[in-house]
Amino acid sequence: MIDLLAIPTLSDIIKAHEVIKPYARFTPVLRSEHVNKRTQSDVYFKCENFQKVGAFKFRGACNAVLTLSDEEASKGVATHSSGNHAQALALAAKIKGIPAFVVMPDNAPKVKVEAVQNYGAEITFCESTLEGRENTLKQVVAETGATIIHPYNDSRIVTGQGTAALELLETNPDLDIILTPVGGGGLLSGTVISAKAIKPEIKVIGTEPEQADDAYESFKAGKLIPAYSTNTIADGLRTSLGELPFNIIKTHVDDIVTVSEDSIKEAMRYIWERMNIIIEPSCAVPVAAIFEGKVDVRGKKVGIIITGGNVDLDNLPW
């Protein structure tokens, strides 16, 4: 049995890249003169909002599903999520031809429920509490024997998320800094393993909303401090940092900085208007960090992983 909390290596991430390559997109890197001028730096946006299901989450889910044993695979996979991980897992399971069981709160937005259904997953609705979700998931697993795939506290997921930085450094080897948002920590931890192994002198910095700063607090304290009230617009980052990601982040990441809600909204709209790409509030967080000067990027080559683009066009924050 594999250790789901084992810290992956670059070699694991390279293997994962081979595994997911036929299914995941090698996403393009975009640039913007406006952003470069504003920040006096040279910014390279790795556009995971163009990844399948519209988010980097497909990388981890795809790696997890495609590396199941045949016996595990035959019984399917399960998770509780109303976000991008649910869609990512549903699509990965569809590709593998196995069942996906997704537990969603009964107040989940219709558009998210339909997206998961369209990828062929079986949805079980539950009360909208963490307890309700976890109990329902346990029940689903007891009935089906499906393997739970956690959205970030899972070595296979962290390994998969690390492939985005692998691609970014393949196309842009001369980056000085890479920035990502941090929610559960899967992307930041995968990124720092790839980046530091490929280029030890590179800086890797996590960015977080002030209103959901548990990763910042945990990083400063050197121990996991769960998120309490998380009132940020960056809905993908409301979750608490996971144990495995934190074990990686605390020793390898150079810094974690926080940004205000106003600067997240401003950065989000700026990128929509100047780059013509749709980014979620979560991906505006690293952009806000360089706009606010929270990370000094002047004269540097900066990589930013744009994590996803799933937003409700009827409820934009402006």
Applying the rule CB under 8 A, the residues between 9 and 48 that interact with its own copies are 28, 30, 33
Beta bridge partners of 151: none
Q: Which of 49, 153, 240, 263 binds its own copies (CB under 8 A)?
A: 49
> Does 309 engage in binding with its own copies (CB under 8 A)?
yes
Q: Which of 279, 285, 302, 305 binds its own copies (CB under 8 A)?
A: 279
> Does 136 engage in binding with its own copies (CB under 8 A)?
no
Output the smallest distance, CB 278 to its own copies, in A. 4
Q: Phi-psi region for residue 241, left (φ > 0), alpha (ψ -120 to 50) or beta? A: beta
Tokens of 251: 């020793």
C-alpha to C-alpha distance for 123 and 117, rounded to whole angstroms:
7
Output the smallest distance, CB 317 to its own copies, in A. 11
- Count how many residues are written for the chain: 318
Between helix 155-171 and helix 243-252 the angle, nearest 10°, is: 40
Nearer to its own copies, 33 or 131 (CB): 33
Q: Which of 260, 277, 300, 301 binds its own copies (CB under 8 A)?
A: 277
Output the DSSP codes for 191-243. Answer: HHHHHHHH-TT-EEEEEEEGGG-HHHHHHHHTS---------S-GGG-SPPPH
Give SS3 for 132. helix
C-alpha to C-alpha distance for 232 and 211, rounded to whole angstroms:
5
* Strand 77-80 with 147-148, pairing: parallel
Stretch that binds its own copies, among 68-76, 130-138, 222-230, 305-313 (CB under 8 A): 305-313
Binding mask 256-275 for its own copies (x = CB under 8 A): -------------x--xx-x
Output the smallest distance, CB 208 to its own copies, in A. 23
Assess contact for 60 and 186: CB atoms under 8 A: yes
Output the smallest distance, CB 184 to its own copies, in A. 21
> Does 315 engage in binding with its own copies (CB under 8 A)?
no
Tokens of 11: 């070699």
Stretch that binds its own copies, among 49-57, 154-162, 195-203, 235-243 (CB under 8 A): 49-57
Output the smallest distance, CB 196 to its own copies, in A. 28
C-alpha to C-alpha distance for 36 and 142, rounded to whole angstroms:
53
Q: Which of 15, 36, 42, 50 binds its own copies (CB under 8 A)?
A: 50
Contacts to its own copies by CB under 8 A: 28, 30, 33, 49-50, 52, 54, 269, 272-273, 275-279, 308-310, 313-314, 316, 318
